[in-house]
């Protein structure tokens, strides 16, 4: 990567994923969405293509690439199907990446070869009924006795947690007390690996969501679920802190997905405006329409530059927390704004569920909520300004 220009390897990746998105994913997207059906076959093909393994070392079955390569793939998939894109994004950044970053060699050897090839999926259980962005609200507990962790509690809105190929979830849980910054007692939060077949671990029914209908999302329940002491992921008491670092990276990935959604709305609107006629001419001849699409393109372009810069800093080993927050904020809003404007360009056709812009309109709202709300991004940016 060199600024906004892509090196040849990146360009080849973009071309490959774009062809896959247009020829394999797009034709079945409306049907999958209507049936609320998880894209098993597409996921399998993405695994065979190496997309789940893009940022992981070859020794674990990965492609030996980097996080920016993943972001580029997510942008191309996000253009045509956000559910497919988030399946990849969550499978990598929330499923496999915590194990890669913080796992022991034994944990990596056990789980990564399955996860980086999409032979298995993993979820990350953070959000709870009374706690998501607020770590102090974590109520799930994990108690250690006689070499065994016993997990009790509940999680909600967990992606990739209930598919036929889900093999584990990583769970944040209170494992004790520590001294807070103000000297007062605070919750010690750690992360525990819980395989899907663990007795006492139950996956609740799938949510009836407004969008991302082909993405897998479930609540999780832990009632005396017991796992070995060695299933602790990373250092005890560092669970939430480690997850925050994973989330910084994930915001770049979500920004890339959002940019793809924003660009998809542009592409669909251009094609429609050039062929739809009213009052004797294509509607794209009208400034009211052409200016709207021009503004949409400006949003997508700004979002792309924002996530490119965040990724560039990340790969260079420089601090990138603020840039990731900016990218997530700008791109998420671009996706939502472009979906609204594209629906207006399409008129009544944009209100039909089978149209791509309608799916983007329903899907894009979560991009301003998931992996850190718009308000969280604003808070992070404000803090970086000393406010």
H helix intervals, 316-365: 321-346, 356-363
Give the β-pairing of 166-179 and 121-125: parallel
Residue 160: burial class (beta carbons within 10 Å; 0-12, 13-18, 19+) = buried
Q: Which domains does the chain have, with CATH numbers?
A: 8-121 (1.10.540.10), 122-237 (2.40.110.10), 241-384 (1.20.140.10)
For 2-11, 25-34, 370-379, which range has the lowest pLDDT when averaged over its residues? 2-11
pLDDT at 3 exceeding the cut of 70: no
Q: CB neighbours of 48 closer than 8 A, spacing ≥ 6? A: 117, 118
pLDDT at 332 exceeding the cut of 90: yes
pLDDT-derived band of residue 4, with 50, 70 and 90 as boundaries? low
| Model pLDDT, residue 104 | 97
| Model pLDDT, residue 2 | 40
Of 376, 343, 322, the closest CA to residue 261 belongs to 343
- Backbone region of residue 61 per phi and psi (left: phi > 0; alpha: psi in -120 to 50; beta: other values): left
For residues 71 and 256, the answer to whether their CB atoms sit within 8 Å is yes
| Model pLDDT, residue 135 | 65
CA distances from residue 226 to 66, 106, 139 in whole angstroms, order as listed? 35, 19, 17
pLDDT-derived band of residue 354, with 50, 70 and 90 as boundaries? confident
DSSP 3-state percent helix, strand, coil across the chain (nearest 5):
55, 20, 25
Q: What is the pTM of this model?
A: 0.95
pLDDT digits (tens, 9 = 90+) for 122-138: 999 999 988 766 767 89
pLDDT at 164 exceeding the cut of 90: yes
Active site residues: 371
For 1-5, 194-198, 295-299, 311-315, which range has the lowest pLDDT when averaged over its residues? 1-5
| Model pLDDT, residue 131 | 72
């Amino acid at each position: 990567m060199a600024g906004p220009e892509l090196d040849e390897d990146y360009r080849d990746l973009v071309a490959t994923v774009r062809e896959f998105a247009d020829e394999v994913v797009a034709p079945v997207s409306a049907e999958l969405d209507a049936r609320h059906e998880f894209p098993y076959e597409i996921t399998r093909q993405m695994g065979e293509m190496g997309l789940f393994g893009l940022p992981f070392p070859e020794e674990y079955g990965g492609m030996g690439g980097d996080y920016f390569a993943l972001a580029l793939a997510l942008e191309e998939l996000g253009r045509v199907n956000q559910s497919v894109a988030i399946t990849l994004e969550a499978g990598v950044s929330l499923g496999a990446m915590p194990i890669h970053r913080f796992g022991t060699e034994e944990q990596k050897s056990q789980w990564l070869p399955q996860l980086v090839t999409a032979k298995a999926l993993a979820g990350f259980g953070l959000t709870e009924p009374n706690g998501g962005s607020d770590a102090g609200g974590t109520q799930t507990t994990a108690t250690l006795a006689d070499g065994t962790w016993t997990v009790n509690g509940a999680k909600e809105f967990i992606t990739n947690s209930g598919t036929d190929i889900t093999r584990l979830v990583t769970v944040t849980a209170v494992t004790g007390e520590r001294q807070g910054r103000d000297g007062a007692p605070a919750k010690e939060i750690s992360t525990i690996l819980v395989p899907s077949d663990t007795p006492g671990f139950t996956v609740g029914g799938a949510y009836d969501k407004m969008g991302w209908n082909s993405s897998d999302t479930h609540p999780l329940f832990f009632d005396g679920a017991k796992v070995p002491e060695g299933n602790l992921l990373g250092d005890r008491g560092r669970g939430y802190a480690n997850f925050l670092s994973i989330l910084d990276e994930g915001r770049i990935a979500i920004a890339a997905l959002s940019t793809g959604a924003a660009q998809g709305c542009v592409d669909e609107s251009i094609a429609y405006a050039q062929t739809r006629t009213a009052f004797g001419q294509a509607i794209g001849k009208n400034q009211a329409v052409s200016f709207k699409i021009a503004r949409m393109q400006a949003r997508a372009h700004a979002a792309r530059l924002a996530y490119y810069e965040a990724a560039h800093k990340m790969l260079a080993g420089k601090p990138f927390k603020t840039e990731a927050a900016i990218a997530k904020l700008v791109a998420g809003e671009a996706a939502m704004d472009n979906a609204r404007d594209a629906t207006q360009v399409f008129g009544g056709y944009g209100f039909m569920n089978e149209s791509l812009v309608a799916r983007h309109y329903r899907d894009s709202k979560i991009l301003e909520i998931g992996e850190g709300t718009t308000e969280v991004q604003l808070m992070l940016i404000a803090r970086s300004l000393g406010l």
